[in-house]
Every structure is written in structure tokens, then in C-alpha cells.
């Protein structure tokens, strides 16, 4: 359209909007989302990027879809407190919904996805960073999501125990007050030898849980092999 064309710009059609929602976040957009979360004002306590990613996976693994309004408010504040007047959320929510759609597609199609986990700085007093240290923020967000939306856990079944035990084994024992049914499995699990193995477990366990709560009628696609 020429600059002096008097016609109003065309409105985006539904397929164009759907395509924008399905486009994965770039690294720059992911970092911008992290900045938007960090700048939400008190008394809000928003999720950080890693916890947000695990939280979204927990939401998506529920047997029935969780309405957007129910889970999104916990992104702004884990306790779901209302956002103060004057705070603009449009950009933040749009980025969160795109990540939600990306994870939903991966889980639905049983595809590999890259969890948002981040390298940590070595402790000032020395010592090595353990794989659990890297993935624990993601798992903490996942556990928070299951606490807020417990339908997956209420579904029960032995198929849930092994993947949940692999994930919850990264917590300290004193933080597992309500995991008596998982403890024997946790005690038998060898910790991952590398961050790559720990991240692979995040995806593998997600897809195993999806086989229970969101079963597919068609045979699942091949997945990365489980570590021994």
C-alpha cells in the first residue's frame, strides 16, 4: 500500500494470528520475557524463566485443559495475587502464551523440546556445580504447578511413579514431606552424571507422564533412549 493510500491497513486474519502464536520464541524474546517477569512490581512474586517453563509443563500435563485465566495469574504471582492497577501485561502474556503453545505442540506430538535451564556460576567458596543444581529451578516450577493443579496426581496409577520419582529425586530429602510413595524409587535412582543427562530426564519424564494423562491413539514417535 502506498504511503498516501487512504484505505485502513488490513486486519490480520485468523491463520496469521495462529502462525504468530505457534512461532517458537527466539533467544532474544526469551530473555526479554525474563526481563518483563523481573520488573513486575511488589508485592508480586513472579516465576523466573526456568520455573515458568516447568510450571507450564505441569499445566499442560493435566488430564483436562486448564483455562488460561486460571494458570496465567500464577505466572504473574505464584500465589495468584491480583496485578496492581496500571501494570501492563500484554507483551509478557503474549510471550508466555507462545511458549505455552510451543510446549503444548511438543507434548501433543511427543517431540523433543529444549527445557529452559541455565548455567550457574560456581560457588564463591569453591565446589562444583551439580546437575541437580541446574535443573532444580525447572523442577521446582513443575512441582508448584502440580500443587496448584493436582488433577494429574489425583489420576494416580503406577505409570506416574517412575517419572515423578526421577524428577523429585533432585530435591533434598527434607523437602519431600508428601512423597512417601515415591521414596523407595527415589532411593534407588542414581543421580545423573551430567547436565545433559539431567535435561534429557526432564523431557523423557514429561513425555512418559503425557502418555498417562494425554494418551495418544496413534503409536508414539521414537524418543531419545532412557539413560541407564
What is the mean pLDDT of the segment spanning 95-103?
Answer: 98
Instruction: Determine the 3-state secondary structure of 48 from DSSP.
Output: coil
| Alpha carbon of residue 106 to chain centroid | 12
Cβ neighbours of 42 (radius 10 Å)? 6
Instruction: Determine the 3-state secondary structure of 27 from DSSP.
Output: helix
What is the mean pLDDT of the segment spanning 196-215?
Answer: 97
**pLDDT score at 212:** 95
C-beta of residue 55 within 8 angstroms of C-beta of residue 142: yes
**pLDDT score at 177:** 67
**pLDDT score at 184:** 85
pLDDT band at residue 29, thresholds of 50, 70 and 90? Answer: very high
- Residue 135: name the closest of 85, 46, 204, 187 by CA: 204
pLDDT in tens, 144-156: 999 999 999 998 8
Instruction: Domains for the chain: give ranges and CATH numbers.
Output: 18-113+131-213 (1.20.120)
Query: Percentage of the chain with pLDDT > 70?
Result: 81
pLDDT band at residue 128, thresholds of 50, 70 and 90? Answer: confident
| pLDDT of 102 above 80 | yes
**pLDDT score at 88:** 94
**pLDDT score at 21:** 65
**pLDDT score at 225:** 41
Phi-psi region of 86 (alpha: psi -120 to 50; beta: other; left: phi over 0): left
Cβ neighbours of 32 (radius 10 Å)? 15
- Residue 71: name the closest of 55, 87, 91 by CA: 55
Q: Which residues lie closer than 8 Å to 165 by C-beta, 6 or more apart?
A: 182, 185, 186, 189
pLDDT band at residue 183, thresholds of 50, 70 and 90? Answer: confident
Output the average pLDDT for the chain: 87
Instruction: Determine the 3-state secondary structure of 141 from DSSP.
Output: helix
**pLDDT score at 223:** 47
Amino acid at each position: 500500500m502506498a504511503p498516501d493510500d487512504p484505505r485502513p491497513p488490513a486486519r490480520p486474519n485468523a491463520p496469521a494470528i495462529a502462525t504468530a502464536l505457534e512461532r517458537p520464541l527466539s533467544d532474544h524474546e526469551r530473555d526479554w520475557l525474563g526481563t518483563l517477569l523481573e520488573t513486575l512490581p511488589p508485592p508480586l512474586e513472579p516465576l523466573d524463566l526456568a520455573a515458568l517453563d516447568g510450571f507450564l509443563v505441569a499445566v499442560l500435563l493435566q488430564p483436562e485443559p486448564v483455562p488460561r485465566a486460571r494458570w496465567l495469574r500464577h505466572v504473574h504471582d505464584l500465589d495468584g495475587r491480583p496485578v496492581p492497577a496500571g501494570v501492563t501485561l500484554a507483551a509478557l502474556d503474549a510471550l508466555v502464551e507462545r511458549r505455552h503453545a510451543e510446549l503444548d505442540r511438543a507434548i501433543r506430538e511427543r517431540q523433543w523440546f529444549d527445557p529452559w535451564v541455565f548455567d550457574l556460576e560456581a560457588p564463591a567458596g569453591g565446589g562444583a556445580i551439580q546437575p541437580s543444581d541446574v535443573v532444580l529451578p525447572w523442577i521446582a516450577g513443575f512441582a508448584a504447578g502440580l500443587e496448584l493443579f493436582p488433577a494429574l496426581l489425583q489420576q494416580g496409577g503406577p505409570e506416574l511413579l517412575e517419572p515423578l520419582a526421577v524428577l523429585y529425586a533432585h530435591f533434598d530429602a527434607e523437602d519431600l514431606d508428601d512423597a512417601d510413595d515415591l521414596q523407595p524409587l527415589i532411593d534407588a535412582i542414581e543421580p545423573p552424571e551430567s547436565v545433559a543427562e539431567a535435561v534429557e530426564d526432564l523431557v523423557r519424564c514429561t513425555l512418559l507422564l503425557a502418555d498417562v494423562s494425554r494418551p495418544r491413539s496413534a503409536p508414539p514417535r521414537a524418543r531419545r533412549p532412557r539413560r541407564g
